[in-house]
Chain A
Amino acid sequence: MNVIVCVKQIPDPANLGALDPSSNTLKREGKLILDESDSYGVEMALQLVATAGGGEVSLVSMAPNSETSGLRTALAMGAAKAVLVSDPALLGSDALTTAKILAAAVTRLGGADLIIAATESSDGYTGTVPEQMAEVLGLPSVTFAKKVSVEGGVLKVDRQTEDGYDEVTCPLPALISVTAGVVEPRYPSFKGIMAAKSKPVDEVTAADLGVTPVGWAGAGQKVSSVTQAEARAAGEVIEDDGEAFAKIVTFLEGLKVI
């Protein structure tokens, strides 16, 4: 069973993000890390391939520069290879273009039995790209998967809903988006980290994939303004001296909710 995982390399979320004032896009300079949301998909893929007893996990990613440090993390976890669509022309690409690019990268790899993505990235969180990819590729999809297995070539998924969850079955090939927490991502071993250095990363441009126009030229949107929201002021902060609970009671009484 071959699985392709869509992974995004993002600025470290521990640092406050910033916009590039000239382009109004998120600054993605310097070291990019594997989006934690994608580590669940990578782990899921590795487990499914192991259970199937054969096949491999490949990665597709898109970045405006040649950054690979996030990809190397996923390769160190156990993925075999990657296609990185790296092209300055991609800057400003909208969600639809992103989906077309990633779908073309999947096709370049010759497709797979299963394509996995996170439900949304942790930096841009548009939250539609997996389902858009499925439509571009003409595949069935099961989004918001919180439990996944493959039995006899058929995918079985518990899919999160507003009310609870649905049990869904789907023949392969298919695409799924997985929620955080669906599996426990492994830490790359030292051996894995060393092996990842020599795993193949096929770097291609949008033109190589035949997807045009991309970036701002192909976007159905333009940023018209960026403004600072009114900041919420901090109130009183006290150290608990054993009686802080009484402060909370007084506060709630003041609001007439108790």
Chain B
Amino acid sequence: MGMNNIWVFAQVANGAPTSGSLELLTKARSMGATVSVWVAGDGAAVAGALGEFGASKVFAVSYGANLAGVAVASAMKASIDAGQAPDLVMFPQSYEGRDVMARLSVKVGRTVLTNNVEIVADGESVTVTTPIFGGNTLVATTFTGGTPYLAAFRPKSFVPESVAGSAAEVVVVNVPDLGVTGAAQVIAVHVEETTGPKLDEANIVVSGGRGLGESAKYEMIESLAKLLKAAPGASRAIVDAGWVPYSYQVGQTGKVVKPSVYIACGISGATQHMVGMKGSKNIIAINKDKEAPIFGIADLGIVGDLHKVLPKLIEALQSR
């Protein structure tokens, strides 16, 4: 039978499908199957973009004030019970993607495989690949528990390719009765304004870590980023410390970035961080500890005090 029917859950952010979602759509199409896309919320707003990347049908779950995870999973389960079971459901490794797949996993009695960067279907056998130990080791895992297989993928795993398709047909799906599991309700939505290029789309990323010493010194990262038209980023350490918002975080639990140039300032290179940036084409690292793991992957490593190096670098770039 092979992969005849694939579902892709598309994450929507700032009114558009994320590039990670378009990657999955592209990959699903290449597997030669019928591909349907599920979204939480307004399908009409994203039908154009999803159609451009090859989706012919979008199931848009009208979830009201519910959290998307439980609502979309319940709608998917109802569709499966109605005889439309997919062979494979692909999710981006996003907040909503993880929630939908987790709830669906229990509803259909199938496990999940997450953090994948590759998928290969060979007849009915589906194998996904996950990097572990900061990407040093690749583990290939084959689903054995029967379909539908549930797999989540890290951003930047595949290259999104437009097929210049026309807008997808939107099928609005109502949420079945969630009972007590639907008791969580969203009462207000806050969008954090960001200026400059987006972290996961920027050509250059300048990130700061604990080596900055104090919160106020993050200004140096922002100044340098502005001069280079780069996006400012951060290690988990300074996000946890509250110096910058979570949306700045690069790493396993933050954003995965693959810019042309990544400049790591005062970041030692914990596995958690390296996973999120080692795919960058060029890496520059500034750190005072010459044993820091970041130097093991840097194309240009500066062993020194960033409080001396960065002001001079900023001044040199300003004077150009």
Contacts and interface: CB of A to CB of B under 8 A. Distances in A.
A143 B102 CA distance: 11
Interface of B: 11, 13-14, 18, 67, 69-70, 73, 93-96, 98-99, 101-103, 105-107, 109-115, 127, 131-133, 135-146, 152, 179-192, 203-204, 228, 236, 239-242, 246-247, 252-253, 260-261, 263, 271-272, 278, 282, 284, 286, 290, 295-305, 308-310, 312-313, 316-317, 320
A181 B296 contact: no
Contacts of B13: 162-163
Contact of A240 (B18, B146, B236, B302): B302
Interface of A: 13, 16-17, 19, 24, 94-97, 99, 119-120, 122, 125-132, 134-136, 138-144, 146, 159-171, 174, 179-181, 219-229, 231-232, 234-240, 242, 244-249, 251-252, 255, 257-258
Given A228-B138, A258-B320, A141 B98 contact: no
A221 B143 contact: yes
Contact of A131 (B103, B127, B138, B308): B103
Contacts of A95: 105, 111-112, 114
Contacts, number: 271
Given A132-B106, A140-B183, A227-B137, 5 more contacts: A19-B137, A160-B95, A168-B184, A171-B183, A220-B145
Contacts of A181: 239-242, 246
A226 B301 contact: no
A225 B140 CA distance: 5
A180 B184 CA distance: 22
Contact of B182 (A129, A140, A224): A140
B312 A245 contact: yes
A174 B185 CA distance: 12
Contacts of B278: 232
Contacts of A120: 253
A143 B67 CA distance: 9
Contacts of B299: 235-236, 251
Contacts of B140: 223-227
A181 B238 CA distance: 10
A202 B183 CA distance: 32
A110 to B, nearest CB: 18
B216 to A, nearest CB: 19
Contact of A244 (B127, B183, B247, B309): B309
Nearest to A171: B183
B86 to A, nearest CB: 16
Contacts of A180: 236, 239-240, 253
Contact of B302 (A169, A170, A219, A248): A248
Given A131-B102, A135-B106, A221-B143, A179 B181 contact: no
Contacts of B109: 96
A170 to B, nearest CB: 4
A128 B296 CA distance: 32
B98 A222 contact: no
B212 to A, nearest CB: 16
Contact of B301 (A94, A237, A242): A237
B112 A128 contact: yes
A258 B184 CA distance: 49
18 contacts: A96-B105, A128-B105, A140-B70, A141-B70, A159-B67, A161-B189, A168-B186, A170-B185, A220-B110, A220-B144, A220-B145, A222-B141, A224-B141, A226-B139, A242-B308, A245-B309, A248-B313, A252-B228
